[in-house]
Amino acid sequence: MRRIVVEKLKIIAGPMELVGRLELEAAPKTCAAFVAALPFVSNIVHVRWSGEGVWMPLGDLDFGVSYENHTSFPAPGQMVLYPGGISETEILLAYGGVHFASKVGQLAGNHFLTITEGQERLYELGRMCLWKGAQPIRFEPLV
């Protein structure tokens, strides 16, 4: 049986459709863990401390990964997964300048996904979350 490798994800965030490329070489364990959780459904809200980003607070959800390809300064369109530790598990998507942090201080997350289609709408998505509140988000394989 042939194993299908997922390289891109369809992301429906609020009313927007985006496409993201998994960072398979730089974060293989994080990508594999996230793909195993597909379809992944959550809500995004505007960040509190980090700047121009939206995030999915995930409580004690354990993806079973540690740090790989981690950063505290994701660029617009980069998605990072914080695997938990001093703060709760979370996924953050930067739409502008971000210094990833929580109420306990600076965090670093695994950059595992980069938006490749729809990046020009990320600022609009971020502002929608800021002014209108939580938006649904769904990730699924793009085949």
* β-strand partners of 71: 109
Structure tokens at 86: 């001093």
Residue 64, amino acid: G
2 falls within a domain: no
pLDDT of residue 41: 98
**φ and ψ at residue 35, rounded to 5 degrees:** -60, -35
Q: Does residue 30 lie in a domain region?
A: yes
Q: How high is the pLDDT of residue 57? A: 96
Task: Extract the tokens encoding 118.
Answer: 């729809």
Taken in order 85, 91, 97, 102, is the CA torsion positive or negative?
negative
Radius of gyration of the chain (CA): 14
User: Residue 128 domain-assigned?
Assistant: yes
Residue type, 73: F
Q: Note whether residue 22 is domain-resident.
A: yes
- Tell me what the pLDDT averaged over the chain comes to: 95
> Quick check: 23 and 114 in contact, CB under 8 A?
yes
**What is the per-residue pLDDT across 22-47, written as a single tens digit (0 to 9) for each?**
999 999 999 999 999 999 999 999 99
pTM of the model: 0.94
The number of domains in the chain is 1
- Confidence band of 143 (pLDDT split at 50, 70, 90): confident
CATH of the domain at 111: 2.40.100.20
- State what percent of residues in the chain have pLDDT above 90: 94
CA pair distance 99, 78, nearest whole angstrom: 13
Q: What domain range is 115 assigned to?
A: 8-141
Q: Is residue 58 part of a domain?
A: yes
